């Protein structure tokens, strides 16, 4: 069984009565992409025809349906104008279509039907993204005439045929430059949801497999909920069984939520209860139900990396260890095989080279022997003919070439074998390095909370799980991984290692809620090098279909400079931080803002991390020497951070600074302001949510009401509009967890 697709799109027309379209080109490219993707459609062959003439399209369609087997899957997709003649016969318009010469310049429905009838394939899908309307308006695709009547046009005599259409009534099929919900798209509405459905949206039962029927149901529901004036259609003819467009893989199967009892046991305050839950999760993890197994694995990974009981964390890691080791071996099998093949090839090359050198040496020796014999013969002949009389015999001088040639040969041999020896030594050292690196990677211990040892290359969360022995292991030597960096898989964020140990938290010269200074001892942890960016958050939203608190509320606060004021604006969200009438964020490295604590926590959970707690954040920002700012105790300036802009009029700002940005700056714009660990943007730019509820420090003055700490989450680091006093590492802000504005962002930790 093979899978073939022919994608036809037309946006430009010679006939002035057929308006130019904007979506078909992008439609064709994106639809072909999901069909060809090894993770989605897995089609064997996908061809695209864009803005081609009638003769080219006709021949391509004819060839497409010929010489196919009965079990081959054929998908023919068309995006463009649909045109009817006076008898109501449907034609698909192409580049050179003339509405007065439809039979010779357009693709008649009869031709497509006959091509499908004559094909041996019994699994055929025809997708038409064109309007069935006689009207045309800007931003729409239209057909000239009334209803196309798709059902009768494509019925034919074939088997296993399914036809999907954007509409089948006098309707518009909306195309690019339109808003779909709150998401801008360059695709037509119909194709947009076909693509989203194949990417996973249509997999309602979570088995990873998507049939034509599931895809249509998803697309229909999405479109009619957005525009009642467009109703997609579907017709099936002698269909035998399901036609699968996306075959499910084990990794595509969606995990199921564990029951409330499981959640209670996993989060119990008693280690013995959590340990018992681990052993029960082991049974689910090794069971036959893939969805439940994946849920159990996720729970075990969280316990192994985050549980504060070493015994519980090690129990979870022991359950995961066999499968993680197998995955590690599988991931390195290809690279190891390539290494062995390269070594064998190098060995063969060296052997051949050595044999060549040996042959050259033998040839040179033979030539030398022949030269000696020749010289001896010449000498004997000379003695016979010219015998010296009464003169003592004289020694003949050695010819110069007999001295120079051997020396050059010896020099050449020495260079070759010297290079070969150095290469061999380098190969041995590289091999030792590889073995040592793998051994270190697999055997480095973990902290009591299960902090993983770093890897030199990005690896999935599961493959960074610790190798655990039955005997409790002490924490790895910090020097082994100090200054290390790992890359998070989901969003490619760099995470910086912060070593274990004590540091002084708080300030005796700052605000009352920063007092008293107290010593906190932390386990080692990882923290994001920068704030989470717009592009990273976009990836999260696309993967999870997440809707932020600002989007749910339909409004958010916007802080405006000069003079400083807070204004609640309808439509302000993370895509439009300043409001819907402002330009959307176009620089993908800008920190994401207009996110609440809830949004930040959801993102970090998706990324395989969590929000840092207050102590972790402050240690990463100021290190262990009690400095005021990440870079030290010197006063801030525009080269160190983004804060208190020149256009900002704030009475409590000590001075206004030109840092180059009125609002937020792209992350990492101020490397000179890095913390002792190399973490960037810990002062200014955006306020950062941390995990903790707001409370006074132990021994501090409780000026707020007792329930104050149950309402507010902590914010750290100051932002682009605050003064130098409010961007100190010890400064503490707070707000309600659902609050959003254009100065609130975050970073994650592990």
Above 90 in pLDDT, residue 263?
no
| 71-80, 263-272, 420-429, 450-459: which is most confident | 71-80
Q: What is the CATH number of the domain that holds 24?
A: 3.40.50.1460
Strands across the sheet containing 494-498? 485-487, 494-498, 525-528
Domain assignment present for 331: no
What is the model's pLDDT at position 436? 36
**E strand or H helix at 163:** strand 161-165
- Tell me the two tokens of residue 172: 């518009």
- Banded pLDDT at 169 (limits 50, 70, 90): very low
Q: What is the CATH number of the domain that holds 689?
A: 3.90.1580.10
User: Where in the sequence is the domain holding 184, given as residue range(s)?
Assistant: 3-251
Could you tell me if 326 and 304 are in contact, meaning their C-beta atoms sit under 8 angstroms apart? no
- Banded pLDDT at 459 (limits 50, 70, 90): very low
- Banded pLDDT at 131 (limits 50, 70, 90): low
Residue 164: helix, strand or coil by DSSP? strand
Higher-scoring residue by pLDDT: 255, 548: 548
Domain assignment present for 392: no
Domain assignment present for 514: no
Task: Give the domain-ending residue among 221, 251, 281.
Answer: 251
Domain assignment present for 459: no
Domain assignment present for 49: yes
DSSP-derived pairing of the beta strands 123-129 and 73-79: parallel
Task: Give the domain-ending residue among 236, 251, 266.
Answer: 251
Could you tell me if 127 and 173 are in contact, meaning their C-beta atoms sit under 8 angstroms apart? no
**What distance lies between CA 399 and its chain's CA centroid?**
73
Above 90 in pLDDT, residue 496?
yes
Domain assignment present for 351: no
Residue 176: helix, strand or coil by DSSP? coil
DSSP-derived pairing of the beta strands 173-174 and 140-141: antiparallel
What is the model's pLDDT at position 425? 44
**E strand or H helix at 242:** none
Domain assignment present for 709: yes
- Banded pLDDT at 497 (limits 50, 70, 90): very high
pLDDT (tens digit per residue) in 337-362:
554 555 565 555 555 544 554 454 45
What is the model's pLDDT at position 54? 93
- Banded pLDDT at 104 (limits 50, 70, 90): very high
String of DSSP letters for 50-104: ES--HHHHHHHHHHHHSS--TT-EEEEEEES-EEE-TT--EEE--TT--TTSHHH
pLDDT (tens digit per residue) in 670-709:
999 999 999 999 999 999 999 999 888 888 776 665 666 6
What is the model's pLDDT at position 585? 64
> Closest Cα partner for 574 from 662, 664, 679?
664
How many domains, the chain?
2
Instruction: Quote the CA–CA distance of 346 and 264 in Å, as a whole number.
Output: 59
Instruction: Quote the CA–CA distance of 543 and 532 in Å, as a whole number.
Output: 16
What is the model's pLDDT at position 690? 97
DSSP-derived pairing of the beta strands 73-79 and 3-9: parallel
Task: Give the domain-ending residue among 187, 217, 251.
Answer: 251
pLDDT (tens digit per residue) in 133-148:
332 222 334 333 333 4
Domain assignment present for 339: no
Above 50 in pLDDT, residue 149?
no
Burial 623-640 (b: 16+ CB within 10 A, else e): beeebbbbbeeeebbbeb
To the nearest 10°, report the CA torsion of 675, 453, 604, 285: -170
Tell me the average pLDDT across 107-131: 87
What is the model's pLDDT at position 391? 39
């Amino acid at each position: 069984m093979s899978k073939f697709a022919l994608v036809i799109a037309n946006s430009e027309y010679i006939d002035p009565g057929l308006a130019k379209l904007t979506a078909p080109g992008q439609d064709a490219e994106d639809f072909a992409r999901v069909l060809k993707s090894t993770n989605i459609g897995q089609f064997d062959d996908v061809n695209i025809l864009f803005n081609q003439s009638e003769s080219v399209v006709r021949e391509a369609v004819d060839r497409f349906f010929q010489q196919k087997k009965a079990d081959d899957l054929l998908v023919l997709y068309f995006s463009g104008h649909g045109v009817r003649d006076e008898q109501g016969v449907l034609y698909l318009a192409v580049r050179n279509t003339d509405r007065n010469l439809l039979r010779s310049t357009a693709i008649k429905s009869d031709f497509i039907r006959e091509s499908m009838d004559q094909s041996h394939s019994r699994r055929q899908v025809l997708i038409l993204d064109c309007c069935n309307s006689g009207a045309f308006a800007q931003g729409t695709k239209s057909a000239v005439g009334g209803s196309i009547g798709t059902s009768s046009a494509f019925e034919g005599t074939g088997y296993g045929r399914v036809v999907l259409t954007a509409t089948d009534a006098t309707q518009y099929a909306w195309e690019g430059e339109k808003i779909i919900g709150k998401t801008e798209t360059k695709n037509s509405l119909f194709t947009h949801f076909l693509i989203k459905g194949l990417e996973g949206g249509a997999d309602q039962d979570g088995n990873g497999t998507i049939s034509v029927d599931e895809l249509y149901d998803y697309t229909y529901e999405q479109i009619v909920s957005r525009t009642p004036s467009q109703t997609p259609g579907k017709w099936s003819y002698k269909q035998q069984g399901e036609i699968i467009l996306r075959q499910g893989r084990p990794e595509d199967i969606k995990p199921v939520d564990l029951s409330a009892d499981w959640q209670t046991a996993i989060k119990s305050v008693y280690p013995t209860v959590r340990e018992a839950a681990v052993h029960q999760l082991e049974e689910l993890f090794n069971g036959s139900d893939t969805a439940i197994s994946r849920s159990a694995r996720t729970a075990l990974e969280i316990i192994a990396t985050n549980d504060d009981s070493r015994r519980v964390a090690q129990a979870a890691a022991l359950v995961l260890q066999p499968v993680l080791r197998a995955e590690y071996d599988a991931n390195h099998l290809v690279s190891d095989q390539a290494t062995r093949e390269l070594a064998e090839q190098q060995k063969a090359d060296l052997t051949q080279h050595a044999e060549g050198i040996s042959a050259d040496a033998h040839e040179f020796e033979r030539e030398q022997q022949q030269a000696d014999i020749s010289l001896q013969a010449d000498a004997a002949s000379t003695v016979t003919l010219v015998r010296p009389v009464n003169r003592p015999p004289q020694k003949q001088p050695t010819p110069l070439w007999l001295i120079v040639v051997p020396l050059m040969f010896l020099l050449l041999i020495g260079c070759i074998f010297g290079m070969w020896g150095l290469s061999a030594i380098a190969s041995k050292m590289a091999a030792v390095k590889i073995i040592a690196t793998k051994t270190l990677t697999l055997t480095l211990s973990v902290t009591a909370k299960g902090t993983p040892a770093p890897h030199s290359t990005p690896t999935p969360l599961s493959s960074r799980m610790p190798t655990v022995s039955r005997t409790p292991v002490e924490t790895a030597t910090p020097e082994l991984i100090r200054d290390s960096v790992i890359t998070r898989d989901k969003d490619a964020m760099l995470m910086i290692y912060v070593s274990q140990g004590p540091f002084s938290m708080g300030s005796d010269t700052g605000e009352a809620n920063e007092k008293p200074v107290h010593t906190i001892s932390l386990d080692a942890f990882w923290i994001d090098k920068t704030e989470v960016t717009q592009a990273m958050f976009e990836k999260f939203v696309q993967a999870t279909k997440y809707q932020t608190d600002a989007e749910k509320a339909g409004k958010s606060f916007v802080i405006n400079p000069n003079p400083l004021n807070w204004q609640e604006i309808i439509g302000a969200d993370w895509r439009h931080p300043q409001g819907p009438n402002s330009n959307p964020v176009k620089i993908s490295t800008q920190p994401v803002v207009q996110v609440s604590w809830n949004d930040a926590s959801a993102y970090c959970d998706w990324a395989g991390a969590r929000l840092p707690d207050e102590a972790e954040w402050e240690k990463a920002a100021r290190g262990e020497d009690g400095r005021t700012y990440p870079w030290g105790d010197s006063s801030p300036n525009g080269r160190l951070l983004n804060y208190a802009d020149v256009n900002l009029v704030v009475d409590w700002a000590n001075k206004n600074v030109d840092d180059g940005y009125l609002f937020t700056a792209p992350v990492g714009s101020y490397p000179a302001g890095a913390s002792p660990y190399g973490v960037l943007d810990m002062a200014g730019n955006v306020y950062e949510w941390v995990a903790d509820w707001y409370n006074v420090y132990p021994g501090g003055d409780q000026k707020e009401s007792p329930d104050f700490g149950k309402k507010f989450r902590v914010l750290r680091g100051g932002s682009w509009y605050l003064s130098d006093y409010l961007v100190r590492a010890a400064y503490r802000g707070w707000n309600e967890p659902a609050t959003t504005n254009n100065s609130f962002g975050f970073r994650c930790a592990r």
